[in-house]
Amino acid sequence: MQTILGAGGGIGMALAKALTHYTTDIRLVSRNPKKVNPSDELMSADLLNAEAVRQAVKGSSIVYVTLGFEYSVKVWAQSWPPFIDHVIAACKEHGSRLVFFDNKKLLGLKDW
């Protein structure tokens, strides 16, 4: 199983399409997941909740993080640390490899 956390955005959907070249065992996790491929497994989850992340990661050989938050330093400072801590803990618990997609959203913001 390969799992995409934050699968509802553009990067997550593109990744789900690309992964079908390698596997059809794909789990899409977001607040309101929608199938990208016919064989996708969907899981609705609040990814700020440790138990929800743990369940989403369970059974995954690879976990991709494509989740983004509102473009606000305050939101990122409050939400990112607990989210990524939950993901890392769940990946360690389940022996999953973690792939993190990053961007430069916050570059140039004035509210640092």
pTM reported for the whole predicted model: 0.89
Number of Cβ within 10 Å of residue 86's Cβ equals 21
Q: Dump pLDDT digits (tens) for 39-69.
A: 999 999 999 999 999 999 999 999 999 987 7
Angle at 57 between CA 62 and CA 27, to 5 degrees: 70
Q: Dump pLDDT digits (tens) for 2-38.
A: 999 999 988 999 999 999 999 999 999 999 999 999 9
Confidence of residue 105 (pLDDT cuts 50, 70, 90): low
CATH architecture of 2-100: 3-Layer(aba) Sandwich (3.40)
Is there a contact between 69 and 79 (Cβ–Cβ < 8 Å)? yes
CA 89 – CA 63 distance, rounded (Å): 12
